Amino acid sequence: FNLWRDKSYVVFFQDTNSLTMKFIVPVLGYGALHRKRVLFAATPRKPGEAIGALCRTHSPSTQVYHTVNIEYSEICKYITQETVTGDQYSMLPGNMNVFCIDVPTYVRLLEQTHGIIAEFINPKYTDATNTTFKKPTRVECMMQDFSKYLPESCGTHDIVACLLPPWYSYNPVKNSHRDALVKQAAGLTTDSAISAEFAYYRWFRLALSFQTPTVHSHNLCPEPTVSVAGILVPHGPRIVLDPFLSPTLTHVANAIGSRLRCTTLQDSVFIYGRFVTVQSLCVSGFLYVCVDDSLHVCIHNFTETTPPAQCTVLDSSHLTSLSCTSFHDAAIRGSFVPAICPEGFPMYCITVQALTEDEVRGNSATNPFVLDDATKLRFLQYSMCCTPI
């Protein structure tokens, strides 16, 4: 097991949830600080949602306790009626299929089980009568079931569920557009491509609004909603920051914080670059900034005014003119294709080649290149094509 040498934790995550990368670092930090052996990332769930529940089970015969995931299709076998809180969330948190195991515990599990996890069947039915399959069912095994095999020496205090608010942690892409509309009508989360995309933009809006980086509740900052292809989503500026700028709320606050100001709900801001900071930036319309990862750039006294980038709902006649890749993107969004850089819109690309030798030589964290209203014209380009996200 030399592979695990000098490593502390193994992280498993589900790749259908783009917000996962926003909370893995804090969860790992909590585990390391408090010396936890197993950490499940959890989110509030409502009864009936298609998400497993984290429970503490116990065997009367052996008096052994386990913290385990029970799949949503199996919950009714164990619990006839779930207790809910005042906001209608279940007392059993939802399992996001993101968990961390400390390496010594994981190695012992591999030696004990040889990596074999018990199988189960999770049938999908067309309706509540459970008489017709929606699609062929399959035999599955789930890595999160590893907790059933943990030794008794791994006490309940060693295993924790980190409860994270949905806006901060959870909006997977797991339903087709048609199924999402049915879920919405039933008062459940849609978990669709459209809702996940707009949840990603909202994450940045809320992260940028914090004066002190913290997460208070899962009902934070209600926003107006807008219907996109029939799906209700939070309405506000579309903001995306480079992953290097946003692994935690603290990183976002340090790099940008409240120093970015959008003037309308239709604004779009995309900032890419490993070492970008913002001192004062005002956007009315659309802004796209891309910086070489080797360069330190500070955006200061920068104002951008353009028409807003419009999101377009395409009908069937539009779809026939799209390329195969674009058609697939449009289909999973419910015929909705936003553009990360619309044709003819301004882009500011700061590269090593675009700077002078002196500017590159002196560039550092303490002496960043300042991108402002006076220097931005040096880097102005115009997008030649509409690039879907």
Query: Is 373 within a domain?
Result: no
Residue 147 and residue 16 in one domain: yes
Closest by CA to 150, choosing from 252, 40, 303, is 40
User: Angle CA(361)–CA(366)–CA(371) in degrees, nearest 5?
Assistant: 75
Q: Domains in the chain: how many in total? A: 2
- pLDDT reported for residue 384: 60
pLDDT < 70 positions in the chain: 1-2, 62-63, 85-86, 152-156, 211-221, 311-343, 384-389
Query: Is 187 within a domain?
Result: no
Query: Is 231 within a domain?
Result: no
Query: Is 341 within a domain?
Result: yes
- pLDDT reported for residue 389: 42
Chain center to CA of 376: 32
Domain span including residue 131: 9-168
Query: Is 256 within a domain?
Result: yes
Closest by CA to 207, choosing from 177, 169, 179, 235, is 169
pTM of the model: 0.84
* Final residue in a domain of this structure, among 119, 138, 168: 168
Cα–Cα distance measured from residue 67 to residue 65, given in angstroms and rounded to the nearest whole number: 7
pLDDT tens figures, 122-161: 788 888 788 888 888 888 888 888 888 887 666 667 888 9
* Final residue in a domain of this structure, among 168, 191, 223: 168
- pLDDT reported for residue 219: 45
Query: Is 205 within a domain?
Result: no
- pLDDT reported for residue 273: 96
Residue 136 and residue 275 in one domain: no
- pLDDT reported for residue 337: 47
- pLDDT reported for residue 388: 45
Q: What is the CATH number for 28?
A: 3.90.550.10
Query: Is 210 within a domain?
Result: no
Q: What is the DSSP string of 320-353?
A: TTS-HHHHHHHHHTTSEE-EEE-TT-EEEEE-TT
- pLDDT reported for residue 171: 92
- pLDDT reported for residue 129: 85
Q: Is 317 exposed, middle or buried (0-12, 13-18, 19+ CB in 10 A)?
A: exposed
Cα–Cα distance measured from residue 107 to residue 3, given in angstroms and rounded to the nearest whole number: 11
